[in-house]
Amino acid sequence: MTCARACSRTRPRRRRPIVLGLTGSVGMGKSTAAAMLRRLGVPVHDADAAVHAMMTRGGSAVPAIAQEFPDVIVDGAVDRKALGRRVFHDTAALRRLEAILHPRTRAAAHRFIQRHRRARTPVVVLDIPLLFETGGERLCDAVAVVSAPQFVQMARVLRRPGMTRATLDRIRDQQMPDARKRRLADFVVETGLGKGPTLRRLRQILKILRENPPERPRARRTSRA
Protein backbone atom coordinates (compact mmCIF):
# COMPACT_ATOMS: atom_id res chain seq x y z
CA MET A 1 0.00 0.00 0.00
CA THR A 2 1.37 3.40 -0.94
CA CYS A 3 1.82 6.17 1.62
CA ALA A 4 -0.75 8.31 -0.19
CA ARG A 5 -3.37 5.57 0.07
CA ALA A 6 -2.56 4.95 3.72
CA CYS A 7 -2.78 8.64 4.56
CA SER A 8 -6.12 8.94 2.79
CA ARG A 9 -7.49 6.22 5.07
CA THR A 10 -6.22 7.73 8.30
CA ARG A 11 -7.08 11.36 7.50
CA PRO A 12 -10.83 11.72 6.84
CA ARG A 13 -11.79 13.97 3.95
CA ARG A 14 -14.16 16.86 4.60
CA ARG A 15 -17.52 16.21 3.03
CA ARG A 16 -18.57 19.84 2.95
CA PRO A 17 -16.93 23.24 2.63
CA ILE A 18 -15.54 25.08 5.62
CA VAL A 19 -18.51 27.27 6.56
CA LEU A 20 -17.68 30.67 8.02
CA GLY A 21 -20.55 32.60 9.54
CA LEU A 22 -20.34 36.37 9.11
CA THR A 23 -22.44 38.57 11.36
CA GLY A 24 -22.49 41.86 13.19
CA SER A 25 -24.83 44.51 14.52
CA VAL A 26 -26.26 47.30 12.39
CA GLY A 27 -23.66 49.73 11.08
CA MET A 28 -20.67 47.59 11.97
CA GLY A 29 -19.47 47.04 8.39
CA LYS A 30 -20.75 43.56 7.62
CA SER A 31 -21.82 44.37 4.05
CA THR A 32 -18.37 45.81 3.32
CA ALA A 33 -16.70 42.70 4.77
CA ALA A 34 -18.96 40.43 2.71
CA ALA A 35 -18.07 42.33 -0.46
CA MET A 36 -14.37 41.95 0.34
CA LEU A 37 -14.76 38.20 0.82
CA ARG A 38 -16.44 37.93 -2.57
CA ARG A 39 -13.54 39.81 -4.15
CA LEU A 40 -11.21 37.31 -2.48
CA GLY A 41 -13.04 34.55 -4.36
CA VAL A 42 -15.15 33.16 -1.52
CA PRO A 43 -18.81 32.41 -2.27
CA VAL A 44 -21.09 34.36 0.09
CA HIS A 45 -24.71 33.51 0.90
CA ASP A 46 -26.57 36.78 1.58
CA ALA A 47 -29.43 35.94 3.95
CA ASP A 48 -31.02 39.37 3.50
CA ALA A 49 -31.10 38.93 -0.27
CA ALA A 50 -32.62 35.47 0.17
CA VAL A 51 -35.36 36.90 2.39
CA HIS A 52 -36.09 39.65 -0.13
CA ALA A 53 -36.46 37.00 -2.87
CA MET A 54 -38.91 35.08 -0.67
CA MET A 55 -41.15 38.14 -0.49
CA THR A 56 -41.29 38.98 -4.20
CA ARG A 57 -44.13 37.81 -6.45
CA GLY A 58 -44.14 34.01 -6.36
CA GLY A 59 -41.75 33.93 -3.39
CA SER A 60 -42.02 31.07 -0.93
CA ALA A 61 -42.92 33.30 2.04
CA VAL A 62 -45.65 35.34 0.34
CA PRO A 63 -48.62 33.01 1.06
CA ALA A 64 -47.76 32.70 4.77
CA ILE A 65 -47.17 36.44 5.16
CA ALA A 66 -50.41 37.17 3.31
CA GLN A 67 -52.27 35.00 5.79
CA GLU A 68 -50.76 36.76 8.82
CA PHE A 69 -50.50 40.30 7.41
CA PRO A 70 -52.87 40.62 4.43
CA ASP A 71 -52.61 44.41 4.39
CA VAL A 72 -48.92 44.34 3.34
CA ILE A 73 -49.46 42.41 0.09
CA VAL A 74 -49.40 44.50 -3.09
CA ASP A 75 -49.73 42.91 -6.55
CA GLY A 76 -48.82 39.49 -5.22
CA ALA A 77 -45.65 40.60 -3.42
CA VAL A 78 -44.85 41.83 0.08
CA ASP A 79 -44.50 45.58 0.50
CA ARG A 80 -41.44 45.39 2.73
CA LYS A 81 -41.72 48.96 3.96
CA ALA A 82 -45.33 48.38 5.00
CA LEU A 83 -44.34 45.11 6.65
CA GLY A 84 -41.54 46.85 8.52
CA ARG A 85 -43.94 49.48 9.84
CA ARG A 86 -46.40 46.74 10.81
CA VAL A 87 -43.96 44.77 12.98
CA PHE A 88 -41.44 47.38 14.13
CA HIS A 89 -43.29 48.37 17.30
CA ASP A 90 -45.28 45.13 17.73
CA THR A 91 -43.22 42.38 19.33
CA ALA A 92 -45.91 39.72 18.92
CA ALA A 93 -46.25 40.51 15.20
CA LEU A 94 -42.47 40.44 14.81
CA ARG A 95 -42.33 36.98 16.39
CA ARG A 96 -45.01 35.73 13.97
CA LEU A 97 -43.01 37.09 11.05
CA GLU A 98 -39.81 35.48 12.36
CA ALA A 99 -41.62 32.14 12.62
CA ILE A 100 -42.36 32.43 8.91
CA LEU A 101 -38.97 33.64 7.73
CA HIS A 102 -36.38 31.94 9.92
CA PRO A 103 -37.06 28.32 8.86
CA ARG A 104 -37.04 29.37 5.21
CA THR A 105 -33.81 31.30 5.73
CA ARG A 106 -32.14 28.24 7.30
CA ALA A 107 -33.35 26.06 4.42
CA ALA A 108 -31.87 28.51 1.89
CA ALA A 109 -28.53 28.41 3.74
CA HIS A 110 -28.60 24.60 3.73
CA ARG A 111 -29.19 24.58 -0.03
CA PHE A 112 -26.28 26.97 -0.54
CA ILE A 113 -23.95 24.73 1.50
CA GLN A 114 -25.08 21.60 -0.30
CA ARG A 115 -24.61 23.24 -3.71
CA HIS A 116 -21.02 24.10 -2.82
CA ARG A 117 -20.47 20.70 -1.28
CA ARG A 118 -21.25 19.17 -4.67
CA ALA A 119 -18.94 21.70 -6.31
CA ARG A 120 -16.19 20.88 -3.76
CA THR A 121 -15.78 24.54 -2.85
CA PRO A 122 -13.20 24.77 -0.04
CA VAL A 123 -14.64 27.74 1.93
CA VAL A 124 -18.02 29.46 1.89
CA VAL A 125 -19.53 32.28 3.95
CA LEU A 126 -23.00 32.63 5.44
CA ASP A 127 -23.73 36.35 5.73
CA ILE A 128 -26.54 36.37 8.31
CA PRO A 129 -27.27 39.54 10.32
CA LEU A 130 -29.10 37.71 13.14
CA LEU A 131 -26.83 34.68 13.14
CA PHE A 132 -26.63 34.14 16.91
CA GLU A 133 -30.18 35.35 17.52
CA THR A 134 -31.61 32.66 15.23
CA GLY A 135 -29.23 29.80 16.07
CA GLY A 136 -27.60 30.04 12.65
CA GLU A 137 -24.15 29.48 14.14
CA ARG A 138 -25.03 25.77 14.30
CA LEU A 139 -24.59 25.66 10.52
CA CYS A 140 -21.05 27.03 10.77
CA ASP A 141 -17.57 25.74 11.46
CA ALA A 142 -16.51 29.18 12.72
CA VAL A 143 -18.04 32.62 13.16
CA ALA A 144 -16.54 36.03 12.43
CA VAL A 145 -18.16 39.07 14.02
CA VAL A 146 -17.59 42.51 12.50
CA SER A 147 -17.39 45.23 15.12
CA ALA A 148 -16.58 48.91 15.53
CA PRO A 149 -16.69 51.48 18.34
CA GLN A 150 -20.16 52.70 19.17
CA PHE A 151 -19.48 56.24 17.92
CA VAL A 152 -18.42 54.84 14.54
CA GLN A 153 -21.52 52.65 14.38
CA MET A 154 -23.76 55.60 15.20
CA ALA A 155 -22.14 57.88 12.63
CA ARG A 156 -22.52 55.25 9.90
CA VAL A 157 -26.15 54.44 10.65
CA LEU A 158 -27.35 58.01 11.10
CA ARG A 159 -26.05 58.85 7.62
CA ARG A 160 -28.66 56.53 6.15
CA PRO A 161 -31.75 58.22 4.67
CA GLY A 162 -34.63 58.45 7.14
CA MET A 163 -32.64 57.03 10.05
CA THR A 164 -33.08 58.58 13.48
CA ARG A 165 -31.50 57.96 16.86
CA ALA A 166 -34.81 56.50 18.11
CA THR A 167 -34.94 54.06 15.19
CA LEU A 168 -31.33 53.05 15.77
CA ASP A 169 -32.04 52.42 19.46
CA ARG A 170 -35.04 50.27 18.53
CA ILE A 171 -32.94 48.22 16.10
CA ARG A 172 -30.27 47.72 18.75
CA ASP A 173 -32.91 46.48 21.18
CA GLN A 174 -33.81 43.73 18.72
CA GLN A 175 -30.20 42.60 18.27
CA MET A 176 -27.80 40.81 20.56
CA PRO A 177 -25.37 43.33 22.12
CA ASP A 178 -22.09 43.71 20.27
CA ALA A 179 -20.06 42.81 23.37
CA ARG A 180 -21.82 39.46 23.65
CA LYS A 181 -21.37 38.71 19.96
CA ARG A 182 -17.67 39.37 20.32
CA ARG A 183 -17.47 36.89 23.21
CA LEU A 184 -19.28 34.22 21.21
CA ALA A 185 -17.22 34.72 18.06
CA ASP A 186 -14.28 32.66 16.89
CA PHE A 187 -12.89 35.73 15.14
CA VAL A 188 -13.51 39.48 15.54
CA VAL A 189 -13.05 41.81 12.57
CA GLU A 190 -12.47 45.39 13.70
CA THR A 191 -13.78 47.70 10.97
CA GLY A 192 -13.33 51.07 12.66
CA LEU A 193 -9.79 51.58 11.37
CA GLY A 194 -10.71 51.51 7.69
CA LYS A 195 -10.88 49.08 4.80
CA GLY A 196 -7.19 48.19 4.70
CA PRO A 197 -7.02 46.61 8.17
CA THR A 198 -10.40 44.97 7.60
CA LEU A 199 -9.20 43.28 4.42
CA ARG A 200 -5.97 42.12 6.07
CA ARG A 201 -7.95 40.58 8.94
CA LEU A 202 -10.26 38.75 6.54
CA ARG A 203 -7.27 37.38 4.63
CA GLN A 204 -5.80 36.20 7.93
CA ILE A 205 -9.01 34.44 8.93
CA LEU A 206 -9.24 32.63 5.60
CA LYS A 207 -5.60 31.56 5.90
CA ILE A 208 -6.20 30.17 9.40
CA LEU A 209 -9.28 28.22 8.30
CA ARG A 210 -7.61 26.79 5.20
CA GLU A 211 -4.46 25.75 7.01
CA ASN A 212 -6.26 24.37 10.08
CA PRO A 213 -9.77 23.30 9.04
CA PRO A 214 -12.09 22.65 12.00
CA GLU A 215 -12.48 18.91 12.43
CA ARG A 216 -16.10 19.19 13.53
CA PRO A 217 -18.91 21.70 12.98
CA ARG A 218 -19.10 24.45 15.59
CA ALA A 219 -22.30 23.03 17.11
CA ARG A 220 -20.47 19.81 18.04
CA ARG A 221 -17.43 21.45 19.59
CA THR A 222 -17.28 22.10 23.30
CA SER A 223 -14.86 25.03 22.99
CA ARG A 224 -14.20 27.76 20.47
CA ALA A 225 -11.28 27.77 18.02
Tens digits of per-residue pLDDT, 54-100?
A: 999 999 999 999 999 999 999 999 999 999 999 988 989 999 999 99
* SS3 labels along the chain: CCHHHHHHHHCCCCCCCEEEEEECCCCCCHHHHHHHHHHCCCCEEEHHHHHHHHCCCCCCCHHHHHHHCHHHEECCEECHHHHHHHHHCCHHHHHHHHHHHHHHHHHHHHHHHHHHHHCCCCEEEEECCCCCCCCHHHHCCEEEEEECCHHHHHHHHHCCCCCCHHHHHHHHHHCCCHHHHHHHCCEEEECCCCHHHHHHHHHHHHHHHHHCCCCCCHHHCCCCC
Digit-coded pLDDT (tens) for 163-220:
889 888 888 888 899 999 999 999 999 999 999 999 999 999 999 999 988 876 676 5
**16-43+121-216 matches 49-119 in fold:** yes
Question: 16-43+121-216: which CATH topology?
Answer: Rossmann fold (3.40.50)
Matching CATH number, 49-119, of 3.40.50.300, 3.30.830.10, 2.40.30.170, 3.40.605.10:
3.40.50.300
Domain ranges of the chain: 16-43+121-216, 49-119
What pLDDT does 195 receive?
95
